[in-house]
Structure 1
């Protein structure tokens, strides 16, 4: 499970496909973000679910990149004596 959640390639691919779909006339997520920044007037529960659905791959990609590049693990010393 740990390898799956830290898989940068998987989350990059998911972000570029599901996170940006549909691509034309503009990515769906960008429209939702603009709508929320405008006060989210008229947003229904389905719109919020849609925002979470398209935003989750981006959150997981940022998490995987953070874990990979900022939280470098110290080498584990052998306990052999």
Structure 2
């Protein structure tokens, strides 16, 4: 997980805002795909790829925050 240290938190947040939420209207794409996932209508491979692509920045952000929290703990 050392590769996470190479990315700045600012860069990851920008990726979440731009790639993760694009297109912004009528609703963020990742939100639309998550609704499809929970309703059971996420069946097309393209929709699954969209969820993976637009959700990846949020997963990286979560991993980065967890790694930062782990590094901040006293040993």
Structure 1 length normalisation: TM-score?
0.78
Consecutive unaligned residues in structure 2, runs of 5 or more: none
- Which protein has greater RCO, CA pairs closer than 8 Å, 6+ apart? 1
In structure 2, the residue matched to 1:17 is 18
SS in 1 for 2:20: coil
Consecutive unaligned residues in structure 1, runs of 5 or more: 76-81
Deviation per residue, 1:8-34 (Å, 9 max, x gap): 111111000000000011100000000
Q: Report the Cα offset of residue 39 of structure 1.
A: 1.1
SS in 1 for 2:17: helix
**Count of equivalent residues:** 72
Q: RMSD of the TM alignment (CA)?
A: 1.8
Q: Summarize the alignment of residues 1-81 of structure 1 with structure 2, pairs less than 5 Å apart.
A: 2=3, 3-5=5-7, 7-40=8-41, 43-69=43-69, 71-72=70-71
